[in-house]
Structure 1
Amino acid sequence: MDLTDLRESMVTRLTERQEVGERVAAAMRAVPRHLFLPHIPPEDAYRDEPIVTRRDADGRPTSSSSQPAIMAAMLDQLAVRPGDRVLEVGAGTGYNAALLGALAGPEGRVVCIDIDADVAAEARAHLDAAGLPWVEVLCGDGAEGHAEPAPYDRLIATVGVWDLAPAWTAQLAPGGRLVVPLDLNGMQVSVAMERDGDHWTSLSVVPCGFMRMRGPSAGPEVLAVLHQNPDLLLTLPAPRELGDVSAALATEPTELLLTAVLDEPARPPQDPAREGRAEAPAREGPVWEAAVAFRTGVPMWLALHEPRWCTLMGGGHGFCAGLVEPGGIALLPLDGDPVVRGHGRDGDRLAEELAAHVHAWTAAGRPRPTDLRIDAHPAGAAVSGPLILRKRHTTLALSY
């Protein structure tokens, strides 16, 4: 199979599993992702998987090429038109900037900014190799935007953000749109927003996961590397005392089966590329809908209702949402059967409390991130509602 076929196969798999707009699909067919990942085999570049490209001294990932599925979803949210001025915050490998360049065209202007000089330099080299000289790459703090070409028609962040930076909203043209992976108490959603009078309101919300913004605008989220080879990563919405999580995980778990809580099987469809299958699963029907609701809705519920919540990924555990305290940890796999496992001295109690949250989410109608409406008001604004998050520059009002 040649590289053109690999790109076509990647896009075909994406369109079988999610809605992808025609212009975004065409851009993904045209832009060679392997040129932005020159250190891996080309066939690996066309898997629907995120690829870590940089880590810090402690082993924490700091830069990557995002999963093509979420890139396609966010580009559809952004709706770039030919001739648009676009600002991208976070360069990664430069692949997403290349897709933006293909969508805006040479008559548009795409500016990409990254806080890491080495990342920016590599993205520039990759864009040149791909034949996209009109896409600009700068080194700087993306939270400050880039005022010289403003106003922008579109702004996208491809790094997890804790708040909406004032520079971004100031540098957008009237009628402009921004798309950012916004933190909601440790849960990220890609939210597309436009102005609505004196505030910003969401047009669409998609669950996602990105490496967090660094520098002065970083949020309080914590990513802890419990061990490496294989990676075992714990994320928290903010720093807190946990005790020895690794020791708790080494204990025999208590298991609570939650099948009775769910009307439909909760095992979510797997990526056929990871399982070695050629066929893609159907993305319609009650089983699919229940699986997606479970995988995305439970973490969102925990993020908005439970300060002790966490996620754990890797090390043979898969991807889990859970509760963690100094006395133990309870985990619910989001890519397998609905079984709560409690580890450590207080594992039994934490497992019961985590199961109770799943019951509460079910009783509330199984809301999911795509059901959210998010309104971003200036910080200090008098805002009321069931779910309010106060940040440095904005006050977020959330509702289902």
Structure 2
Amino acid sequence: MEDLAVAARAALVREIGLGGGWEADPSWRAAFEAVPRHLFVPYYYVGVAGGYERRWGEDPDPAARERWLRGAYADVPLATRLRDGELLSSSSQPSLMALMLTALEVRDGDRVLEIGAGTGYNAALLAHRLRDHGLVTTVDLDPEITEAARRHLDAAGYHPVVVTGDGARGVPERAPYDRIIATCALPAVPRAWLAQCRPGGRILLPLATGLLALTVRDRDHAEGRFLPTPAYFVPLRGGDRAEPPVPGPAGVPRRARENDHFRFLLALTRGGLDPAEAYAVWEREGAPPRERYGVTLAGDLVAAWLDDPRGPYVWPLPDLGSLSSGGS
């Protein structure tokens, strides 16, 4: 099985490389080559007719163990924790993880905070890249998730700091950070993260089915654009927040309803634009892709914008500063 794991990991690394995963920062290739993903997913669930099938590394059937191992190195997300049919935690698609890690623009010596410990795999990749496990902190709300992440990390020989706590509040006792990365979807940008990030630091988070990269100026100011890539993550959990639903695209042409960029605009401006208004902007501006949008936090202002934060298309966003939430 160990030989199969080595071969499967090498095949995954080649696949990510062919997709351009290492172009922005080739140093991540070595991390993906070294960190054994299968140790972080001792079991996972795959969808089958009528529900889910559990694949397990200790299955008494050798063929089933081989299916588990090959699946652990497939370039797909893996469901790792379910409750009453609801997905609570997962191991993200490796090629998307590579894209996010390169976009984080980590430098030697950076202190990194990860929101959403998951299986611990992403924290292990960061620890390997930085060559100093103490530079990496990962936090999750669920003690079962953090305990499992610690076990997986220990088994793989990595020892970042794993904290059980509220992801939206960050981990102030370990601050300041040079980089913050979230591996769970958020309805807004938590203000606490800005306060825990050094000036010039970078925050990368999933927001409105996109990936937002912010540059922090100070504890009250940050600004940045979305990456071109769509991203769908398990929501950041905990707290009591009334997140406005994404309005349905009723009343707009089918070509807009079925267009990913139009649905992104609806998700980003939820509550700020109704579908007809969103369609008018989308049509007038030539179906803008994600990378034309950005977000600004400046004092009490939290806003999304198209093309220019001082341009004609600016929409208020919710402020997560006072809300309690936890990572997934």
Structure exhibiting the larger radius of gyration computed from Cα positions: 1
The answer to whether the Cα contact below 8 Å between 2:225 and 2:291 also exists between their aligned partners in 1 is no
**Aligned-pair CA distance for 1:301:** 3.5
Indicate the SS of the match to 2:12: helix
CA distance in 1 between partners of 2:272 and 2:295 (Å): 23
CA distance in 2 between partners of 1:71 and 1:97 (Å): 11
Q: Where does structure 1 lack aligned partners over 5 or more consecutive residues?
A: 222-235, 241-255, 262-293, 310-322, 324-352, 395-400
**Aligned-pair CA distance for 1:367:** 1.4
* Greater relative contact order (CA < 8 Å, ≥ 6 in sequence): 2
CA distance in 2 between partners of 1:142 and 1:378 (Å): 22
Q: Give the counterpart of 1:210 among 208, 228, 233.
A: 233
Describe the shift of the 1:96–1:218 C-alpha distance in structure 2 as closer, same or farther (beyond 3 A): farther
**Aligned-pair CA distance for 1:361:** 4.2
CA distance in 1 between partners of 2:302 and 2:190 (Å): 16
Summarize deviations over 1:320-354 as a string: whole Å, max 9, x none.
xxx9xxxxxxxxxxxxxxxxxxxxxxxxxxxxx9x
Describe the shift of the 1:303–1:38 C-alpha distance in structure 2 as closer, same or farther (beyond 3 A): same
The answer to whether the Cα contact below 8 Å between 1:94 and 1:126 also exists between their aligned partners in 2 is yes
Correspondence list, 1:248-287, <5 A? none
Aligned to 1:379: 300
The answer to whether the Cα contact below 8 Å between 1:83 and 1:107 also exists between their aligned partners in 2 is no
Aligned to 1:297: 261
**Aligned-pair CA distance for 1:307:** 6.4
Correspondence list, 1:137-152, <5 A? 137-152=162-177
CA distance in 1 between partners of 2:4 and 2:142 (Å): 34
The answer to whether the Cα contact below 8 Å between 1:85 and 1:154 also exists between their aligned partners in 2 is yes
The answer to whether the Cα contact below 8 Å between 1:180 and 1:192 also exists between their aligned partners in 2 is yes
Describe the shift of the 1:295–1:26 C-alpha distance in structure 2 as closer, same or farther (beyond 3 A): farther
**Aligned-pair CA distance for 1:203:** 5.2
Summarize deviations over 1:68-107 as a string: whole Å, max 9, x none.
1221111011122222211111111111111111122126
Summarize deviations over 1:38-72 as a string: whole Å, max 9, x none.
12411101111111111233x22111001112211
Summarize deviations over 1:279-312 as a string: whole Å, max 9, x none.
xxxxxxxxxxxxxxx8642322343578699xxx
CA RMSD of aligned residues (A): 3.2
Describe the shift of the 1:218–1:84 C-alpha distance in structure 2 as closer, same or farther (beyond 3 A): farther
Q: Give the counterpart of 2:193 among 155, 168, 172.
A: 168
The answer to whether the Cα contact below 8 Å between 2:202 and 2:214 also exists between their aligned partners in 1 is yes
Q: Give the counterpart of 2:288 among 367, 371, 375.
A: 367
Question: Does 1:388 pair with 2:309?
Answer: no
CA distance in 1 between partners of 2:180 and 2:264 (Å): 25
Indicate the SS of the match to 1:4: helix
Aligned to 1:273: none
Aligned to 2:70: 43
Aligned to 2:87: 61
Q: How many residues are matched?
A: 280
The answer to whether the Cα contact below 8 Å between 1:82 and 1:107 also exists between their aligned partners in 2 is no
Describe the shift of the 1:203–1:380 C-alpha distance in structure 2 as closer, same or farther (beyond 3 A): closer
The answer to whether the Cα contact below 8 Å between 2:212 and 2:294 also exists between their aligned partners in 1 is no
Question: Does 1:237 pair with 2:258?
Answer: no
The answer to whether the Cα contact below 8 Å between 1:177 and 1:193 also exists between their aligned partners in 2 is yes
Q: Which amino acid aligns with 2:143?
A: A
CA distance in 1 between partners of 2:107 and 2:136 (Å): 12
Describe the shift of the 1:307–1:178 C-alpha distance in structure 2 as closer, same or farther (beyond 3 A): closer
CA distance in 2 between partners of 1:3 and 1:375 (Å): 44
TM-score, normalised to structure 2, is 0.75
Correspondence list, 1:169-208, <5 A? 169-182=194-207, 187-196=208-217, 199-202=221-224, 204-205=226-227, 206-208=229-231
Describe the shift of the 1:30–1:377 C-alpha distance in structure 2 as closer, same or farther (beyond 3 A): same
TM-score, normalised to structure 1, is 0.62
Question: Does 1:27 pair with 2:12?
Answer: no
Describe the shift of the 1:392–1:17 C-alpha distance in structure 2 as closer, same or farther (beyond 3 A): same
